[in-house]
Chain A
Amino acid sequence: AQTVTQSQPEMSVQEAETVTLSCTYDTSENNYYLFWYKQPPSRQMILVIRQEAYKQQNATENRFSVNFQKAAKSFSLKISDSQLGDTAMYFCAFIDPTNQAGTALIFGKGTTLSVSS
């Protein structure tokens, strides 16, 4: 079964600092998609960044970037210049379009990130 593992249940960082959230996944497929979603306290989940497995270049979105290591099945999220508004639970997620449930997001258990001033 395909799985997503986030080994850091909680992390803390101060404003303006850089933090990296870890994610590993398990699949035997070659083509798949990886995502980081953010769920702020009592607010709706939103997409932070996504990566297609066939692309070697790491995705970036403003202060958010990923380190995608396909051979190691690792997909970490780096947040630069952390802001108070980054406080949220972050979920790493995976889609395998060849799977029977091909459009289903498979989520990790999440990392709660707290940004303090």
Chain B
Amino acid sequence: KAGVTQTPRYLIKTRGQQVTLSCSPISGHRSVSWYQQTPGQGLQFLFEYFSETQRNKGNFPGRFSGRQFSNSRSEMNVSTLELGDSALYLCASNSGGLVYNEQFFGPGTRLTVL
């Protein structure tokens, strides 16, 4: 099975712009979660989508949004970028069943905001 893929791998934007990141989960996985990883704050949960519905949401401002398509692929969007949004954005997929199922992580998208 192919693993979780994320595109693009690297992105450079300027303050005020918006950005869309994409995540393709492992085939058959219905749950996709997004995390932000920074040296200062570590790994923080953004949101989780299951069967095209947002099931859980972390404590991030409304500038961060996401969606999931019928094929389980997910996108996250960040509007009005700020310098502090520079981070590695990871997505993870699992089958969506039991809560302690293994999360399979993608390689991440490295976003740099100038």
Give me the interface of A with B, judged by CB distance under 8 Å: 33, 37, 43-47, 50, 52, 91, 95, 97, 100-110
Residue of B nearest to A4 (CB): B42
Q: B54-78: which have CB < 8 Å to A?
A: 55-58
Q: A44-B3, A44-B105, A103-B33 are in contact. Are A97 and B45 (CB under 8 A)?
A: no
**8 Å CB contact of B99 from A43, A95, A110:** A95
A109 touches B99 (CB 8 A): no
Minimum CB–CB distance from A57 to chain B (whole Å) comes to: 16
A102 touches B99 (CB 8 A): yes
Q: How far is the CA of A103 from the CA of B108 in the complex (A)?
A: 20
Minimum CB–CB distance from A111 to chain B (whole Å) comes to: 12
Residue of A nearest to B59 (CB): A101
Q: How far is the CA of A42 from the CA of B99 in the complex (A)?
A: 27
Chain B residues whose CB sits within 8 angstroms of the CB of A109 once the complex forms: 42
Chain B residues whose CB sits within 8 angstroms of the CB of A47 once the complex forms: 102-103
A50 touches B100 (CB 8 A): yes
Residue of B nearest to A34 (CB): B100
Chain B residues whose CB sits within 8 angstroms of the CB of A33 once the complex forms: 99-100
Q: How far is the CA of A91 from the CA of B107 in the complex (A)?
A: 16
Q: How far is the CA of A33 from the CA of B56 in the complex (A)?
A: 17
